[in-house]
Structure 1
Amino acid sequence: MLGDAQRSPGTPGGPEPQWQTCGRRPAGMVTALAPRYARTTVRRSELRTLTELVGPAAAGRAATVELTGDPGSGKTALLAALAAEARRAGRVVLRGLGGGTAGQQAPFWPFVEALGTLDGLGPAQRDTPADGAGTALPPAAGLLRRLAQPPEDPDTLAESGGGLTRGCQYFAELRRLLADCAAAAPRGLLLVLDDFHWADPCSVRLLETLIRRPVGTGLVTVVAHRPRQAPVGLRLAVRHGVELGTVDEIGLAPLTLDQSAELLGAAPDTPALRRLHTRSGGNPLYLTALAAADGDPDDLAHLDARRDLETRLLAECAPLTDDERLAAQAAAVLGDTFDVEAVAAVAPLRHGVACRTLGALRHRDLIRSAPGHGALTFRHALLRDFLYAETDACWRAAAHRRALDHLAERGAPPLDLAPHVVRSGTLATPEDRAVLTAAVKEALPAGRTAPAAQWTASALRLQRAALEQSGRRTTAPGSAATADTGPLGRELWLPVVRALAAEGDLTRLRALVREILAAHTRLPAAERAAVVAPLALILAACGLAEEAQALFTPLLAALRGTGPQEAALHVQSQLAWVLAGQLPPRAEVEVLARHTADAGPLTAGGALALRGLSAVFTGDLCAAEGNLDASAHILDGLDPEPPGGAGAEGPDAFAGYLLVLACAESAMGWYGPAQAHVERALAEARLR
């Protein structure tokens, strides 16, 4: 026990991964490294397929390729790699973007932007070099002029049946001009249209024309879009092309674990990588953002990944109407899943308005259907986190209160209600303690220690607030505490503290200990001892000896001259050193004989066990034998108070005394009694 209590940090085994950034990183750490470049290399199979499909352009044949994938799946990066390959092969590359999210764009904007990358089209185009810059394509100027001069209103022109004769003639002319551009490119023309789910109707109609009547020269069109956000006209046109055999489909699946490892520069068997891969769903954008959240906030690669995600999500949410944004924020407050009724209550919005706005959010692929009748969820948890963080803090607290009231009316379980109590802030009431305590009791058996600790701390803060209000209302001595202001029993917080200690979660353990102590500062020292002593022993068992002693010292000063209780605390303070892996000086242990002259049997038995242990390790075996025999005689005959008891002798220390006795007996070679005392100590620990 003593030898293992204070280990020095070990050195991780296995070879250290080769990192692609300056400096060295600890083995097993996951980081987001150069995400923009890494995404172009991990999808080698898709890049190879795209390159093979583009190949026919060199032979003068036409082809159209549809590239689909969720937001952040790597479509743009893959297209950039394809464009680089095509340029190396001598092809002319034109790249255009769909209209984007920030308002309406001019008709045919993706085609206009793509053609604007060529030379010979005026100073405005030459000022912005891009793929294909430096290439002269004379027919492009005529195509640009015709795109800018449609024969009729663009909205009417884009309709499949509108302006039939003139519209058909116009799109046929555009198709011919595109064919002339392709013919002017000796090794073929690659037209890359990215984010085409945002394209204007005229651009969709022109693409439909190219799909139905492919250009007979070396034009290859690659259209990338998000299938859930693509307009119906685009999906129908592409589907018809697939049936005709004029369109090839490539869908980007989630990354494999090996691809995720390559993207982050980590070994595939790294536990943190598996966790990040699962949480991201194999999405490169989310994967790098999650890795950035886990990494060094000052690392430039991590900062780039976080900004990348925030920028993309901000762009997606920018066009939302006020009602749509309000509904999205209400949904973010509700959590992982929600429905129309809940969003309407939390926003608040009328039911019909909430239904329409959620439909609009589904159309934008911000939310999706979830298992369960009428249930909805966000596309990814990171999107929810982003929207949640963007809301006003005061509005958010009130929204959590509305969510709590709505869910409580629907009979939601305490585990679903407790998060809203915590996040209601100052709007939480003393009555909410009942929700929190019920949630804690349900969370611990389910292994949810972290939320149980958070809810316990919140319940303790509500207790303090209620006590302060009660103190302001009445100052009469001896006023009884009500059910709302009475202290939370240790049967609630002590199991949570022990669970945190068992998991080694020292950060949450320290925070909860502070809350517990703050909630009991008004108690007399004699009553406070039943709170402080078990907390100090648990801290000591976690190796926090100094912190444990810092709890004992002021309490011992306050209880000086109180007899048995002071003696119990003196012995427990020495026990804390042993539990922390440190053997107290024998002189200090021998002083316990003076303190325990009038102590109860549990304290006396514990003091004898400590004296015996000290004698063993100082080589005084005769004294050790006498003390250990006497300690065993006393402790074996004891049956401390029932579980949850908090008597003056500190029954929480009973298991510790048995462990000290077993350790000393083992050092003496008395293995049978040592094993028996260890087993009883474990049984007592489980019991309490």
Structure 2
Amino acid sequence: MESSLHAMTPYAPAHINPPESTVVRTAELETLQTLVCEPARAGSLIAVVGDPGSGKTHLLAALVRHRYSSERPAIVYRHSPGQDADSYSPLQSALSHIPPPRSPDLPAENVARLRRWSASRGLLVLEDAHLASAATIGELTAIAAGKIRPRWDVVVSLRPRQTPMELAEAISLGVTFGHASRIELAPLTNEQVVALLSRPLTREIRPDDRNPFNLRALLALEQSRRQCQNSIVAPFEFAALVETQGLSATEHRVLQAAVVLRDHFDVELLSAVAELDHPQVSAAVRVLVQRDLLRPDGIGQGFSIRHDVLGTLLHRSMDPIWAKNAHRRAIGSLASRGLTSRELGFHLVHSLFRARPEELAQIVAAAWDVMELDVSEAISWLTTVTEWTSPTSAIGRKARLALVAALGNSGRMTESRALLFDIRRHQEDLHEADWADQVAFVSVIEGIASHDVQTLGLLGEQLDLPAARSSIAWPRMVFAHGLRMAMMIGTHDRQLIDAAVEVARRNGTDADICGLLAIRALASMQAGDFDAACTDASAAGDALSRCPERLVSQRLEYIFAVGLADLYLGRWSDARHHLGRGVATAYRSQRTFILPSLLVLLSEAERNLGLLRQARKSAQAAHHEAGTTSTLRWSQALALQSLSEVWLQPPGSGRARALAKQALSGHPQEPQMPLRGDVNGSASMAILSLAISAWLDGDPQHCVTLLLNEGRGAQLTGLPLMQRGRGWELLCAAGLDAGLPIAEWAARNEHHARAVSLPSHQAFALLSRGHVLRGTGRTADAAACYLEAATLFASVGMTIDQCYSLGLAAAALRSLGRASQAADLADLAAEIAGRRDARTLLDWLGRQAGQPSRTSRPDQPRPPDPVDSEILGALTRREREIAFLISSGMKRREIAERLTISIRTVDVHLTRIYRKTGLNSMVELALAVTRSTGTGQAEDQRPTLLFRTI
């Protein structure tokens, strides 16, 4: 059967395929084109190997389109499961002898056209060749082993688990001896999947599954449930059924039993559910494993269906009565082994003949338990329960409240909020703890993900109840109200927060304590009491560290509040530590509603620490996770990418400017979304990136104009409070270059630093004062201000700002004729910037020191790469110990005293370390070890240590 290849999957309908021009595996395509165009007398076998969903069909389709566009021959043949062997061999064209030439009796132009065809070999593409007949497998084995030389190139796509052993061995030998080629396809990356799929599908992408077919099937299943149209899923059901072609009746029955059990089952369970003998089931399981429909799960002798999506699609095609009875048999068989919540809920949902209250209650309880592992499954179960119950019944109300939480955790804030208001219309007891808890939860989601205030009324209603403080949910309601006020820059009720903290302490709930302490820290900052804010933020971090992982996964909004407080207080390392834990937990527990916000805060912390590449990666992840579910964070993530690119991009590349303009334009689906005047500061960050880019490009006047317009005058009230110090410093730097009066801006910055009283803001005020002093001719005093600012930046780990300050000091010293000191400062700043790969910053530092651009000099030696784990592993235990002591800032004499050895012995160990790692100094060793370990404490110590070596 000859057929043309679909662009995505052999069984996907044409209307859901992306445009044919989309090619995501460009490197593999170039390799294929090189192989099929390589001059040779005969063809060869080229195997494209990859698991389902790795893009084999997409790659081969691109190859065939390229062949057709260049008018070269190509034949495509797809093998299907259970295909009967016949006399026709698809390899006949590739193996047949070339007919003897004869005189053409065609016009000259047609003869010329044929010559181009004859100059290149033909191409035979065999898709899913692992399903071919035994005769075809034998021919392919002979070609791979070099026993047969085809006159055409034969490209086959194979699944590694289903490829016959003899063919796999022949391909391996053929690759070794040059008779065949093999292209391994790794799983698609997030970027490749996004390029293939439409934007709404990107929120379904998870690290453990990037199969485009599965993602499309999930979307179709969701649309089918919402629109009650089974036809939407029909193409995917057909694709799943095609996988089962050729199975016997017994094998079909065993596969259906496996679909019922889904995962972690053995032959004994299959026998009970399928109602077949043990030998029959064992034989069928062997066939199903060979067909890659079942896979060993690595737990004892158990098996699992290949993928949950495949199981869901096959389950829809089963006889419903048989399926319900099979699920009942599964419950009976599993009861003796101990049913898990997931197993009980899954089998109960699919075996409901009538609405039994006790079974519905069990499903709701199981949904709560499974929500941390699979929120989509929980939503499906709870939706089923709501269809069987009324909103006024006790079980119906509990199911709907649980569904509110599940929808909110999955990022479907609008649906969760709508269901909450629907419950309120039927809610009689407003003092119910579950109801109050969900009101607080949805209000938090609304505040984190949007500007909406629709649930604030419900939250205020709960807080105003006479007996509100006696509810166990009262501390969480106070937290939700405080977080909403912080996000809206509203006025906090300090007495209410203090009372809630005391209640949480009496209850002994560390999670509530850490969340409320973070809110109190934000309230203290609003009141100008930064010492109290630091105390509360530290206590909140300690309480968070004591919380078990399960509790943290249920209260990720507390991590958001703690991270926000740490960022406002300039505690970058603490913020990165807590937010990193929150991001990992959110991914693991599928709390997608908060992922974009946590990633945005993490990117901000990493950027301030000078970890530009990590900050850019976090911002890109936030942009991906935001998708269409959080348009607010979508713009903010772009703005943060832009700020990371300002110093990271190659000089003059314009990437930062393009990202900033995209952030200012807003989300494509909501172009009128407001970006200004709130704690998120999306527009302000984008404007700041544009202003820095304009100043670096030599247009300081435009930089000043951008900042004054966005800040609504010299007061910069349009910028968030924590960004104003940086804004005034940039105004002074650009104004100095433009010849504008800057004394007023510097004075405002110093007044702001006294009010905020944080090291980073004091450092920006010092830079502003240095610009004023430099403008009035007091260059030596300006250099002192710049160096003092660099010290403050180093004390809080802001390495990029430290380099910037050192560059300004180097320029000031050079203008005073102190070239040696200027060069030393510039070299130190360049060393730090080079470790961060800040190419634009390196270029700017070179200009400040009067040196050629460090990024464009071919003779400039590049700093050695950081020590990786393999090199560290090559060191002895004593050498590793000395390397880590060096990275902590200890000197040779201190190390000798610490280890009770001589300084000479320390020097010998250092010499061996340098020889093994390729490094040349203690500074390089400290930097390399710090980078390789990746510890937040080492990152913070590095700039301080470097600055003290001046």
User: What is the TM-score of this pair, normalised by structure 1?
Assistant: 0.53
Q: What displacement does 1:360 show?
A: 1.0
- For the structure 1 residues 402 and 89, does the alpha-carbon distance in structure 2 shift closer, same or farther, using more than 3 Å as the test? same
Q: What displacement does 1:368 show?
A: 1.0
- Does 73-82 or 355-364 show the bigger shift? 73-82
Q: What displacement does 1:426 show?
A: 1.9
Separation in 2 of the partners of 1:397 and 1:289? 23
After superposition, the C-alpha distances for 1:410-432 in whole angstroms (9 at most, x for unaligned) are 12234421221232212676664
Partner of 2:207: 278
- For the structure 1 residues 488 and 285, does the alpha-carbon distance in structure 2 shift closer, same or farther, using more than 3 Å as the test? closer
- For the structure 1 residues 408 and 433, does the alpha-carbon distance in structure 2 shift closer, same or farther, using more than 3 Å as the test? farther
Q: What displacement does 1:531 show?
A: 7.8
Q: What displacement does 1:258 show?
A: 1.8
Q: What displacement does 1:405 show?
A: 1.1
Q: Is 2:81 aligned against 1:81?
A: no
Is the 1:92–1:185 contact (alpha carbons within 8 Å) kept by the matching residues of 2? no
User: Residues 168-187 of structure 1 correspond to what in structure 2 (within 5 A)?
Assistant: 185-187=118-120
SS at structure 2 position matched to 1:53:
helix
Partner of 2:783: none
- Match for 1:106 among 77, 86, 106? 86
Partner of 1:413: 340
- Match for 1:377 among 304, 315, 319? 304
Instruction: State the one-letter code of the partner of 2:85.
Output: Q
Instruction: State the one-letter code of the partner of 1:200.
Output: S
Q: What displacement does 1:349 show?
A: 1.8
Is the 2:205–2:215 contact (alpha carbons within 8 Å) kept by the matching residues of 1? yes
Q: Is 2:176 aligned against 1:248?
A: no
- Match for 2:287 among 348, 360, 384? 360
Partner of 1:60: 41
Separation in 1 of the partners of 2:153 and 2:395? 71
Partner of 2:752: none
Separation in 1 of the partners of 2:57 and 2:242? 16
Is the 1:429–1:462 contact (alpha carbons within 8 Å) kept by the matching residues of 2? no
Is the 1:437–1:456 contact (alpha carbons within 8 Å) kept by the matching residues of 2? no
- For the structure 1 residues 674 and 431, does the alpha-carbon distance in structure 2 shift closer, same or farther, using more than 3 Å as the test? closer
User: Residues 229-628 of structure 1 correspond to what in structure 2 (within 5 A)?
Assistant: 229-264=162-197, 266=199, 273=202, 275-278=204-207, 281-290=209-218, 309-426=236-353, 432=359, 435-436=362-363, 439=366, 442=369, 451=378, 454=381, 458=385, 496=402, 499=405, 507=415, 529-530=428-429, 579-580=457-458
Over the residues paired in the alignment, what is the CA RMSD in angstroms?
5.6
Instruction: State the one-letter code of the partner of 1:282.
Output: R
Separation in 2 of the partners of 1:247 and 1:330? 41
Partner of 1:572: none
Structure 2: stretches of 5+ with no match in the other structure: 1-13, 102-114, 444-453, 514-950
Is the 1:64–1:246 contact (alpha carbons within 8 Å) kept by the matching residues of 2? yes
After superposition, the C-alpha distances for 1:436-460 in whole angstroms (9 at most, x for unaligned) are 5764674578896973994698599
- For the structure 1 residues 290 and 579, does the alpha-carbon distance in structure 2 shift closer, same or farther, using more than 3 Å as the test? same
Q: What displacement does 1:65 show?
A: 1.4
SS at structure 2 position matched to 1:254:
coil
Instruction: State the one-letter code of the partner of 1:106.
Output: D
Separation in 2 of the partners of 1:345 and 1:215? 50
- For the structure 1 residues 390 and 187, does the alpha-carbon distance in structure 2 shift closer, same or farther, using more than 3 Å as the test? same
Q: What displacement does 1:366 show?
A: 1.0
Is the 2:475–2:500 contact (alpha carbons within 8 Å) kept by the matching residues of 1? no
After superposition, the C-alpha distances for 1:567-612 in whole angstroms (9 at most, x for unaligned) are xxxxxxxxx99834899xxxxxxxxxxxxxxxxxx99x95xxxxxx
Is the 2:49–2:160 contact (alpha carbons within 8 Å) kept by the matching residues of 1? yes
Larger Rg: 1
Is the 2:46–2:155 contact (alpha carbons within 8 Å) kept by the matching residues of 1? yes
User: Residues 138-157 of structure 1 correspond to what in structure 2 (within 5 A)?
Assistant: 138=99
% identical equivalent positions: 26
Aligned residues: 464
Is the 1:501–1:542 contact (alpha carbons within 8 Å) kept by the matching residues of 2? no
Q: What displacement does 1:514 show?
A: 8.4
Q: Is 2:155 aligned against 1:222?
A: yes
Q: What displacement does 1:316 show?
A: 1.5
Is the 2:379–2:407 contact (alpha carbons within 8 Å) kept by the matching residues of 1? no
SS at structure 2 position matched to 1:221:
strand
Is the 1:336–1:378 contact (alpha carbons within 8 Å) kept by the matching residues of 2? yes
After superposition, the C-alpha distances for 1:4-38 in whole angstroms (9 at most, x for unaligned) are xxxxxxxxxxxxxxxxxxxxxxxxxxxx9963645
Partner of 1:598: none
Instruction: State the one-letter code of the partner of 1:387.
Output: L
Is the 1:191–1:219 contact (alpha carbons within 8 Å) kept by the matching residues of 2? yes
Separation in 1 of the partners of 2:239 and 2:127? 15
Instruction: State the one-letter code of the partner of 1:199.
Output: A
Separation in 1 of the partners of 2:29 and 2:339? 49
Instruction: State the one-letter code of the partner of 1:424.
Output: S
Q: What displacement does 1:197 show?
A: 1.7
- Does 530-539 or 391-400 show the bigger shift? 530-539
Is the 1:109–1:199 contact (alpha carbons within 8 Å) kept by the matching residues of 2? no
Separation in 1 of the partners of 2:149 and 2:250? 48
User: Residues 154-165 of structure 1 correspond to what in structure 2 (within 5 A)?
Assistant: none
Partner of 2:17: 35
Separation in 1 of the partners of 2:126 and 2:50? 14
Is the 1:107–1:200 contact (alpha carbons within 8 Å) kept by the matching residues of 2? no
Is the 1:188–1:219 contact (alpha carbons within 8 Å) kept by the matching residues of 2? yes
Partner of 2:129: 196
SS at structure 2 position matched to 1:248:
strand
Instruction: State the one-letter code of the partner of 2:26.
Output: R
Separation in 2 of the partners of 1:446 and 1:284? 22
- For the structure 1 residues 298 and 290, does the alpha-carbon distance in structure 2 shift closer, same or farther, using more than 3 Å as the test? same
Separation in 1 of the partners of 2:476 and 2:46? 74
SS at structure 2 position matched to 1:104:
coil
Is the 2:53–2:213 contact (alpha carbons within 8 Å) kept by the matching residues of 1? yes
- For the structure 1 residues 412 and 240, does the alpha-carbon distance in structure 2 shift closer, same or farther, using more than 3 Å as the test? same
User: What is the TM-score of this pair, normalised by structure 2?
Assistant: 0.40
Separation in 1 of the partners of 2:331 and 2:121? 62
Partner of 1:484: none
Separation in 2 of the partners of 1:282 and 1:61? 38
- Match for 1:46 among 25, 28, 41? 28
SS at structure 2 position matched to 1:187:
coil
SS at structure 2 position matched to 1:377:
strand
Q: What displacement does 1:240 show?
A: 3.5
- For the structure 1 residues 515 and 343, does the alpha-carbon distance in structure 2 shift closer, same or farther, using more than 3 Å as the test? farther
After superposition, the C-alpha distances for 1:235-280 in whole angstroms (9 at most, x for unaligned) are 34333423432111112221122211211255xxx9x62642535x
Separation in 1 of the partners of 2:421 and 2:458? 17
The structure with the greater share of residues assigned to helix is 2
Q: What displacement does 1:188 show?
A: 2.4
Q: What displacement does 1:389 show?
A: 0.9
- For the structure 1 residues 303 and 115, does the alpha-carbon distance in structure 2 shift closer, same or farther, using more than 3 Å as the test? farther
